[in-house]
Amino acid sequence: METYVGSVSRGAWRRWSIVASGTALLCALPAVIAVLPVSASPISAPALRARILASARVPYQGYAESTVNLGLPLLPGLHNVSLLLDGTTDQYVWYRSPSYWRADDVTGTGESDTYADGGVTYLWNYGTNLLTQVTGAEPVRLPRAPDLLPPALARRLLDTAGRADRISRLPGRRIAGVDTAGLRLVPAGTSTTIGAVDIWADPVSGLPLEVEITGRGTTQPVLISTFLELSRAQPDLAAVIPHPAPNVGLTTTRLPNVDGVLNSDGDGDGDTTPFPPQLGGLRRVVLPGSPSGVAIYGTGFSRFVLLPLPRGVGTDALNAAIQAGAGSVPLSGTGGSQAGTQAGVLIRTPLLSVLLVRGGFHHAVFLFTGAVTPALLASSASALVTDLSHRPRFR
């Protein structure tokens, strides 16, 4: 005869085992999906690279998450960029074609959207309740959230790469349900801080789905941008153009006014700054239509930006950097009577280096930044300061 005691404890055991196995099953589900084998694509590295570069016309819509851990201090006037380069950015994107797409940078309480509507860019900010139409070409501008989207970032990085940079294949990954093929790009130059750029793309369409950037000499990626959800359906045209509500503010502006610190006239005094043609061994590159207040030096991954900051912004930035614990670097070779006074303020991050230095007749603040070694920025800054000190009439 069955005793009830047995049946009770057996019942408890049975109940708990049902609950435990059900819970384990639910918890294991994501892990199981993650370890399902990814079909390996036989595509070669150069072919994959070519396919990625040619993928700009592939339509998609999805949800991307970009995480950057640079540890940059918040610099005045560069607030938005600092937020972008430190932390997680969530974006919904509808990409119809290179000139018609929309990306929503969403937060818990609002969103800022970027629309590419033909040749026009619209920026919507829920916080200011303002839809801004940006006119004019924008070859040089501060980074915006859509720049972090895997397709845009991957194509930009591959575009930047030169012949000397080595590419190789990586094992595939399943990203947002797509079996992707991996591509590793290792920059050749010694002056860049980028150790490796890893891209995973759909081997068929070439659409990049994940990008990881690792600093030189480190193993942990500094930047990870990946799709959490992706659909290859082409979004409707109506979905990628703005439909402002009647009470939304509308404004039209030129790009430099959007980015604030990128004022077109150097240090804000109406000066036309003659940038030296060469700094730190890198030649200045002039892009057509770029604002005169910004200079770009170098090619490929060995490239940095020189930006004279408007007077107020410059001093604030310098103070903020010092308060954030930025180190001081002596600038060598300045010579002359100013030798003792010249020192740069350097912010080191695993990827990006930022150097601020005061110089010139007006003691303007110059900002050097790029994914290059601090040494390169220091020698460039030394060269600039020397150059300015030799031209006391520099205005």
Partner 1 sequence: MIRVELVKLARRPRSWVSLVLLCGLPVLVAVFVAVTHLAPPPGQGPALLSAVLSSGSLYPAAALAIVLPIFLPVAVAVVAGDSIAGEAGSGTLRYLLARPVGRTRLLAAKLVALVVYTLSAVILVAVTAYLTGIALFGAQPVAATAGGLTTSNIAATSLSGSGLSPADIALRTIGAVAFIAVSMLGVGAIALFLSTITDSALGAALGALAALITSEVLVTLNAASAVNPYLPTRYWLAWIDFFRDPIVWRNIERGFAVQGVYVLVFLAASWAHFATKDITS
Partner 2 sequence: MIVTRGLTKRYGPLLVVDQVDLDVREGDRYGFLGPNGSGKTTVVRMLLGLVYATSGDITVLGQPVPKQVGKVLPSIGSLVEGPSAYGHLSGRANLALMDAAGKSGARRTRRSRIAATLDRVGLGGIDNRPVKRYSLGMRQRLGLAAALLRTPKLLILDEPTNGLDPQGIREIRDLLIELNAAGTTVFLSSHQLSEVEQLCTRVGIVDRGRLVRQDDLETLRALTGRSIVRTPDADRARELLDGQIELAQAGRLVIADADTAALNSRLVAHGVRVTGIEAERRSLEDVVLSVTGSGSDRVDVQDGDRP
Phi, psi angles (nearest 5°) of residue 118: 65, -130
Q: Per CB under 8 A, does 16 bind partner 2?
A: no
Q: Per CB under 8 A, does 129 bind partner 1?
A: yes
Residues 102-115: b if buried by 16+ CB within 10 A, e if exposed? bbbbbeeeebbbbb
Q: For residue 118, give the 3-state DSSP assignment.
A: coil
Nearest approach in angstroms of CB 15 to partner 2 is: 13
Phi, psi angles (nearest 5°) of residue 57: -95, 0
Q: Per CB under 8 A, does 126 bind partner 1?
A: yes
Query: With CB cut-offs between 5 and 8 Å by kind, which of partner 1, partner 2, none does residue 42 bind?
Result: none
Q: Are 208 and 200 in contact (CB under 8 A)?
A: yes
Q: Per CB under 8 A, does 14 bind partner 2?
A: no
Interface residue with partner 1 among 243, 323, 340, 393 (CB under 8 A) is 243
Nearest approach in angstroms of CB 85 to partner 1 is: 14
Q: Per CB under 8 A, does 246 bind partner 1?
A: yes
Footprint of partner 1 on 80-109 (CB under 8 A)? 88, 92, 104, 106-109
Size of the site for partner 1 (CB under 8 A): 42
Q: Per CB under 8 A, does 13 bind partner 2?
A: no
Q: Per CB under 8 A, does 220 bind partner 2?
A: no
Interface residue with partner 1 among 247, 270, 336, 393 (CB under 8 A) is 247
| Cα–Cα distance, 197 to 212 (Å, whole number) | 6
Give the interface segment with partner 2, choosing from 7-15, 22-30, 93-101, 184-192 (CB under 8 A). 7-15
| Cα–Cα distance, 112 to 128 (Å, whole number) | 10
| Cα–Cα distance, 276 to 266 (Å, whole number) | 14
**Helical segments of the chain, H only:** 4-35, 45-53, 79-84, 150-160, 255-259, 311-323, 374-389
What single letter denotes the amino acid at residue 182? G
Q: Show the tokens assigned to 354.
A: 């930022």
Nearest approach in angstroms of CB 2 to partner 1 is: 17
Phi, psi angles (nearest 5°) of residue 305: -115, 135
Q: Per CB under 8 A, does 7 bind partner 2?
A: yes
Q: Per CB under 8 A, does 69 bind partner 1?
A: yes
Nearest approach in angstroms of CB 14 to partner 2 is: 14
Q: Show the tokens assigned to 381.
A: 């800054």
Radius of gyration of the chain (CA): 25
Interface residue with partner 1 among 46, 177, 244, 277 (CB under 8 A) is 244
Interface residue with partner 1 among 59, 71, 139, 242 (CB under 8 A) is 242
In sequence order, which residues have a C-beta less than 8 Å from that of residue 95 and are 6 or more positions away? 59, 60, 61, 101, 102, 151, 235, 240
Q: Per CB under 8 A, does 245 bind partner 1?
A: yes
C-beta neighbour count of 177 within 10 angstroms = 11
Q: Per CB under 8 A, does 219 bind partner 1?
A: no
Q: Per CB under 8 A, does 341 bind partner 2?
A: no
Q: Per CB under 8 A, does 26 bind partner 1?
A: yes
| Cα–Cα distance, 91 to 384 (Å, whole number) | 39
Q: Per CB under 8 A, does 8 bind partner 2?
A: yes
Up-side HSE of residue 249: CA atoms within 13 Å toward CB? 10
Residues that bind partner 1 (CB under 8 A): 8-9, 11-12, 15-16, 18-19, 22-23, 26-27, 30, 63, 67, 69, 88, 92, 104, 106-111, 113, 124, 126-129, 131, 228-229, 239, 242-248
Residues that bind partner 2 (CB under 8 A): 3-5, 7-9
